[in-house]
Amino acid sequence: MKYIFANWKSNKNVETANEWLDGFEKLTTKNEIILCPPFNILGGIYKRAEKLGFVLGVQDLSPYSAGSYTGEISSVNLEEMDVKYAILGHSERRIHLGEDDILVAKKVDQAVDAKITPVVCVDEGYIESQANAIDDDSLSKCIVAYEPLSAIGTGKEMDVEKVTQVVDRIKKAFGNVKVIYGGSVDETNVISYLRACDGVLVGGASLEVKSFINIIN
């Protein structure tokens, strides 16, 4: 079983998300296809997405539980939606919103407490420091996404041998966790990445129905 994540980032609205879902029949794959839309869209489409066989994920999670944290989305806010995964510490959040290893570790703990699997994103610069920041108990519950900065949104493919090497390094730091790859994954290169690791995190190529169906197939 492989993990295929669709990370929509800040794209689409409820209407265009429903148009995207119109393009799918009920999924029949043995792989886990995880749809990670923006929070508001998740609220608008989760029932329909689940009926089609998608598993639900979010792109972030509050480092705090429910309470006075204006603008944050805690696991309590997600309860009725059966969210199974949370992408945490994506490089875009580290770069544009100042997230660091410590903050990401707090989010990991919140996810684990809520029985949501944390998908911790790392580039080579912070594999060990991110692992060290996370509690031992939480560490084994993570999926780790190797997301090289040079390959995200650039169309520049990362060499598969290099991915294999970094997967080994991640397992040394995090333990025997599942590792997925993200960065310009598309229908032409997905097979080779799936041979090197446990799944893929797809950004741009998940926005169009046709390219995402080709990736799933």
Separation between Cα atoms, residue 149 and residue 210, nearest integer Å: 26
Residue 175 near ligand PGA by CB under 6 A: no
**Any catalytic annotation for residue 90?**
yes
Separation between Cα atoms, residue 197 and residue 200, nearest integer Å: 8
- Of these residues, 147, 161, 187, 208, which one is catalytic? 147
Binders of ligand PGA among residues 120 to 149 (CB under 6 A) are 147
Burial degree of 177 (CB within 10 A; 0-12, 13-18, 19+): middle
Which residue in 182, 190, 197, 212 binds ligand PGA (CB under 6 A)?
Answer: 182
Question: From its phi and psi, is residue 70 left (phi > 0), alpha (psi between -120 and 50) or beta?
Answer: beta
**Any catalytic annotation for residue 80?**
no
Pair 202, 152: CB distance under 8 Å: no
Which residue in 23, 125, 153, 175 binds ligand PGA (CB under 6 A)?
Answer: 153
Which residue in 3, 7, 35, 118 binds ligand PGA (CB under 6 A)?
Answer: 7
Residue 202 near ligand PGA by CB under 6 A: yes
Q: Which residues bind ligand PGA (CB under 6 A)?
A: 7, 147, 152-153, 182-185, 201-205
What residues are annotated to the active site? 90, 147
